[in-house]
Amino acid sequence: MAAEGARVRFPMERYTVMGFVEVLGKIPAHYQLLRILEGEFREGRYDLLVVIDYPGFHIRLAEAARRHGVKVLYYIAPQVWAWRPGRARRLAAAVDRLAVVLPFEAEFFAGHGIEAEYVGHPLLDRPPPPSRAAGRATLAIPARARVLGLFPGSRNQEIDRLWVPFRDAARRLLVEGACDTVVVAGTEDGSYPGAGDFRLNRGSPEAVFAAADAALAKSGTTTLEAALADVPMVVAYRLSPLSSWLARRLMTVPWISLVNLVAGRPVVEELLQRDVSAEALARRVAPLMDPDDPGTLAQREGLRLVRERLGGAGAARRVAGIAGELLG
């Protein structure tokens, strides 16, 4: 948005954290921001509020906008289907239009009295990914190497919790001869101690997806990116112990990975909390390094189903159209 000329007044990197408990320290800053913006709604500075994901704050912000006659478009709906279905009623009162990016969401929200439009997933608006050959050339990897991709996340909290088991699992596979090269999809400022002779690619992960035969991936949008690139994977996630305890009691869906949720069945294996060990990760991802393994073939069939259900490009255009309608 900044690249397109939007003025970024409150960089959200200052506010966001992962987990139920971890967010407590950010609550005062959020309420201060809410007071500032509600004052601007009251002054009539805005005709339309577009909020994207981030429900803990954005539902409150949407309610404030509606109180002062500002129309609201919610894009990338809160995952209330996973955590708190009852919150859907509150969402219905807070928005004028809801644009959803997962194919099953429109039906869910319709069942709660909310008109939701499935606009497709924004990942599909990206340029086509590089070919396998191009990805390996970018990373200087031999064409016939067996490549394991590591995707420990984009937030430092995620990296801190997943990097060591991902790293140690990859080392096991190298020692056992199950793979030849390990590539890390890193961030610009992420810390990856002990990476050794792994190839660390900071920045855009497209080349890593293109080059990888299989992956260890944190739960989230990364799993859909891997599905679009047809990369078999094992999915892992860790929260703080208290956040995990709360999550287990609030979750209303059987899986955490978007791949499994879109497919409606277990396509990829998921490891959570204490189960995220180097031994368990290595044991589960090793068969996926073999393209002819029955498990690899079965997962690729599931990934094909996910790609079909996500549909085609055009999410940004459709959301812009909705915004235009609301602006009149």
Task: Name the residue ranges covered by the structural domains of the chain.
Answer: 24-124+312-327, 135-310
The continuous run of DSSP H or E covering 61 comes out as: helix 55-67
Common-topology check for domains 24-124+312-327 and 135-310? yes
Residue 240 scores a pLDDT above 70 = no
Residue 99 pLDDT grade (very low, low, confident, very high; cuts 50, 70, 90)? very high
Residue 281 scores a pLDDT above 70 = yes
pTM of the model: 0.83
Residue 266 scores a pLDDT above 90 = yes
Predicted local confidence at residue 124, as pLDDT: 94
Of 88-92, 115-119, 291-295, where does mean pLDDT reach its minimum? 88-92
Residue 237 scores a pLDDT above 90 = no
Residue 23 pLDDT grade (very low, low, confident, very high; cuts 50, 70, 90)? low
Predicted local confidence at residue 253, as pLDDT: 63
Of 11-25, 71-85, 113-127, 158-172, where does mean pLDDT reach its minimum? 11-25
| Cα gap 191→221, rounded to integer Å | 21
- Which residues 6+ apart lie within 8 Å of 163 measured at CB? 152, 191, 192, 193
Residue 154 pLDDT grade (very low, low, confident, very high; cuts 50, 70, 90)? confident
208 neighbors 193 (Cβ within 8 angstroms): no
205 neighbors 151 (Cβ within 8 angstroms): yes
Residue 252 scores a pLDDT above 80 = no
The continuous run of DSSP H or E covering 283 comes out as: helix 278-285
| Cα gap 148→100, rounded to integer Å | 32
Question: What DSSP assignment string belongs to 259-272?
Answer: HHHHHTS--SEEEE
The CATH T-level fold of domain 24-124+312-327 is Rossmann fold (3.40.50)
Higher pLDDT among residues 257 and 211, named by residue: 211
Architecture of domain 135-310: 3-Layer(aba) Sandwich (3.40)
Residue 320 scores a pLDDT above 90 = yes
Residue 314 scores a pLDDT above 60 = yes
